[in-house]
Amino acid sequence: MAAALLHHVVSERKIENGCEYFKFTELYVVSGFDITGFIKRLEEDLAFVIQPKEKFKRR
């Protein structure tokens, strides 16, 4: 599993307007592994997380 092969360092964490933000300064990957799928999933997760909360309110 690609996620088990990663290690990241969070240098900054803040909560603003009800959203939690992280700033990653370092990302270590064991060489020889293809993490393309993991990066694509991470991008999808981040795109979901950064959307304003108003879009997810029930109507």
Residue bearing the bigger pLDDT, 51 or 44: 44
Helix ranges restricted to H, the chain: 36-49
Instruction: Please give the pLDDT value at position 1.
Output: 43
Instruction: Please give the pLDDT value at position 17.
Output: 83
Residue 58 forms part of a structural domain? no
Domain range enclosing 20: 2-52
Residue 38 forms part of a structural domain? yes
Which residue, among 23, 10, 11, has the nearest Cα to 50 in the 3D structure?
23
Residue 42 forms part of a structural domain? yes
Domain count, the chain: 1
Instruction: Please give the pLDDT value at position 8.
Output: 63
Question: Hey, what's the torsion of the CAs at 28, 32, 36, 38, to 10 degrees?
Answer: -50
Residue 27 forms part of a structural domain? yes
Residue 16 forms part of a structural domain? yes
Residue 59 forms part of a structural domain? no
Pairwise CA distance, residues 14 & 12, whole Å: 7
Residue 57 forms part of a structural domain? no
Q: What is the pLDDT of residues 10-43, one digit of tens each?
A: 677 888 888 777 777 666 666 666 777 777 777 7
